C-alpha cells in the first residue's frame, strides 16, 4: 500500500477506525466526494450516508450520521454522531427503527416531531442500505 493516507473516524463514544487507507468516499451535503493521497486541505460537512474506504484492494463500508471531516496533510479526520461498520449492523434493529419512524410520519398529530422522524427514517434506511451493499459484495 504505497499510496496511503491516514483515516480517523471518531464518534462521541470513541474511535471507530484509525488506520491507513488508499481512498475514502464521504457523503457530503452536496453529494459524495472522494479523498485520495495529496488531496487539497478541506473542512466539509458529512451527511447521513455511507463512508466507503479502500485498502489493499478491499472495500469497507460504514453507515454514518451527520458530522464533519477535515482533510489535511494526508490525514482524514471524520467526527460524526455515529459510524457503524456495515458487517456489524443489526438488521432487525435497523428494520424496527425504520418501521417506527414510518409510523411516526404517518401520524397526523401536532405532537409528532416530523423533522426528527424523517432523520430517524433516513438513518435506518442508510443502515439497511449498508448491509445490502455488503451482502451483494460477498
Give the chain's domain count. 2
Q: Are residues 78 and 99 in the same domain?
A: no
pLDDT digits (tens, 9 = 90+) for 83-121: 999 989 888 999 899 898 888 888 766 666 778 888 888
**The domain spanning residue 119 has which CATH number?**
1.20.5.440
Q: Are residues 54 and 69 in the same domain?
A: yes
Q: Are residues 80 and 105 in the same domain?
A: no
On whether the pTM is more than 0.75, the answer is: yes
Kindly provide the residue ranges of all beta strands, DSSP E only, lying in the chain, ordered along the sequence. Answer: 5-11, 14-21, 23-28, 31-36, 42-46, 49-55, 58-64, 67-72, 75-80, 83-85
| Average pLDDT value over all residues in the chain | 90
Q: Are residues 61 and 110 in the same domain?
A: no
Q: Are residues 71 and 130 in the same domain?
A: no
Q: Are residues 13 and 49 in the same domain?
A: yes
Count of positions (residues) in the chain: 138
**The domain spanning residue 32 has which CATH number?**
2.60.15.10
Q: Are residues 18 and 76 in the same domain?
A: yes
Work out whether strand 75-80 and strand 83-85 pair parallel, antiparallel, or are unpaired: unpaired
* pLDDT score recorded for residue 79: 98
Identify the domain containing residue 24 by its residue range.
5-86
Confidence of residue 137 (pLDDT cuts 50, 70, 90): low
Positive or negative torsion for Cα 14, 16, 20, 26: negative
Last residue of a domain, one of 63, 86, 109: 86
3-state class (DSSP) for residue 45: strand
Last residue of a domain, one of 46, 64, 86: 86
Q: Answer whether residue 128 shows pLDDT above 60.
A: yes
pLDDT digits (tens, 9 = 90+) for 50-79: 999 999 889 999 999 989 999 999 999 999
Q: Answer whether residue 25 shows pLDDT above 90.
A: yes
Amino acid at each position: 500500500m504505497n499510496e496511503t493516507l491516514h483515516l480517523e473516524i471518531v464518534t462521541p463514544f470513541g474511535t471507530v477506525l484509525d488506520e491507513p487507507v488508499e481512498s475514502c468516499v464521504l457523503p457530503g451535503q452536496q453529494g459524495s466526494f472522494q479523498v485520495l493521497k495529496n488531496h487539497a486541505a478541506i473542512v466539509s460537512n458529512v451527511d447521513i450516508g455511507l463512508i466507503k474506504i479502500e485498502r489493499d484492494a478491499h472495500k469497507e463500508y460504514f453507515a454514518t450520521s451527520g458530522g464533519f471531516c477535515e482533510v489535511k496533510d494526508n490525514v482524514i479526520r471524520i467526527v460524526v454522531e455515529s459510524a457503524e461498520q456495515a458487517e456489524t449492523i443489526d438488521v432487525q434493529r435497523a428494520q424496527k427503527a425504520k418501521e417506527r419512524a414510518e409510523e411516526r410520519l404517518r401520524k397526523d398529530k401536532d405532537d409528532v416531531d416530523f423533522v426528527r422522524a424523517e432523520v430517524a427514517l433516513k438513518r435506518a434506511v442508510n443502515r439497511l442500505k449498508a448491509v445490502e451493499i455488503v451482502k451483494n459484495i460477498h
